[in-house]
Amino acid sequence: MIFEQLFDTKSSTYTYIISSGKGREALIIDPVIESTDKYIKILKNLDLKLVKVIDTHIHADHISGLNELSKRTKCSKIMGEQSASEVLDMFVKDNEKIKIENIELISIYTPGHTDCSYSFLMDDRVFTGDTLLINGTGRTDFQNGNVLDQYESIFKKLLKLPEKTLVYPAHDYNGKKYSTIRDEKNNNPRLQVTSAEEYVELMNNLKLENPEMMDIAVSANKKGLTLDKLNLNKL
């Protein structure tokens, strides 16, 4: 299997390129538009054909490369059925399979960070978007976020996966690349609560500033803006 984890330093975003092998179909999860040329180069060097691109949710801290990649490769654009994106080719539901050549992902609806947040399970690993981070969880105070929904998503869905399951989030701010369900259960400070009420109190008192690009990114990602419609030098 080909598994590439790429990091955007500006937004601290992880993007994933996945394929069963050289010369085969590939998919990308959570691309950043400024890195589109890099993704295209990697795909070419590995002789991969990009057939599907997935966003785990509508991002507020960067502009997605989903539609730009589709424009340049003709790949299908995929998000959850709750997404407000105007440019998708496929809307997935909870527990739906996304397939490419010899690769299968299972969608898990994990609302809370946003109302359109999904995670994707692939064999021994799960891509958790901004729902479950390494030693953290995604904020819930904008984009129709809901603390109780996130509690249910994490404690009743993600943490029910086998403990050895690898956790690959959409962001990390401390140089960590992955974790495991076991490590998050035992070490994630936001998960050491004894009730949903305690989790709500914790999350409601974070007092975080809005992402720098929020006003631009959310609108751009709903519309699926491509590079020819953006002036990234002003962002």
Higher-scoring residue by pLDDT: 234, 159: 159
Reported as a single tens digit per residue, the pLDDT across 223-233 is 988 988 776 54
Q: In sequence order, what are the residues at sequence separation of 6 or more whose Cβ sits closer than 8 angstroms to the Cβ of residue 197?
A: none
Let me know: does 160 contact 176? Beta carbons within 8 Å: no
**pTM of the predicted model, to two decimals?**
0.94
Query: What does the pLDDT read at residue 182?
Result: 98
Q: Is the pLDDT of residue 4 over 60?
A: yes
Query: What does the pLDDT read at residue 231?
Result: 67
Report, as an integer, the average pLDDT of 11-37.
Answer: 95
> Domain ranges in the chain?
2-230
Report, as an integer, the average pLDDT of 92-121.
Answer: 97
CATH of region 2-230 = 3.60.15.10
Reported as a single tens digit per residue, the pLDDT across 124-170 is 999 999 999 999 999 998 878 999 999 999 999 999 999 999 999 99
- Mean pLDDT (the chain) is 94
Q: Is the pLDDT of residue 235 over 60?
A: no
Q: In sequence order, what are the residues at sequence separation of 6 or more whose Cβ sits closer than 8 angstroms to the Cβ of residue 4?
A: 16, 17, 18, 42
Q: Which of 6-10, 64-68, 219-223, 230-234 shows the lowest per-residue confidence on average (mean pLDDT)?
A: 230-234
**Residue 123: CB atoms within 10 Å:** 12
Using CB atoms within 10 Å of the CB of residue 229, give its burial: 0 to 12 exposed, 13 to 18 middle, 19+ buried: exposed
Q: Is the pLDDT of residue 71 over 90?
A: yes
Q: Is the pLDDT of residue 171 over 60?
A: yes
Tokens coding 192: 């050491």
Buried b / exposed e along 181-204 (16+ C-beta atoms within 10 A): beebeeebebbebeeeeebbebbe
Which H or E run includes 219?
helix 214-223
- pLDDT band with cut points at 50, 70 and 90 for residue 210: confident
Inter-CA distances, 63 with 17, 30, 91, 229, Å: 18, 10, 20, 12
Residue among 186, 156, 183 at smallest CA distance from 169: 183
Query: What does the pLDDT read at residue 233?
Result: 46
Tokens coding 157: 């869905």
